Amino acid sequence: MTLYRLTRTLPDGTVKTNPTALRTLREVEFAVSYCLMDNSRVPRGEARRFAASLTGRPLGEPVRHESSGYAFRVDRV
């Protein structure tokens, strides 16, 4: 079974890794979209589109959300 680790870089440069591994890319999408909606007040549609585009990229590639300043990276555990 493949597990994924989500790492996010906050606008101030602090790097935080999700404490638990996520089981599916769908779980990664939800985690990213809720992070953007809760912490940066990003509209739901924009957060979901960004999260879907993130999980469609190659693993390990950091992706920055320009308006919020957050950056996310998904790695295989």
What predicted TM-score, i.e. pTM, was given to this entire model? 0.91
Q: Residue 28's pLDDT is what?
A: 97
Write out the H or E segment, with its range, that includes residue 51.
Answer: helix 44-55
Digit-coded pLDDT (tens) for 22-46: 999 999 999 999 999 999 999 999 9
3-state secondary structure of 26: helix
Q: Residue 33's pLDDT is what?
A: 97
Instruction: Please count the other Cβ atoms lying within 10 Å of the Cβ belonging to residue 41.
Output: 10
User: 1: pLDDT confidence band, cut at 50, 70 and 90?
Assistant: confident
Say how far apart CA 6 and CA 20 lie, in whole Å.
9
**Mean pLDDT confidence for 5-32:** 96
Q: Residue 52's pLDDT is what?
A: 96
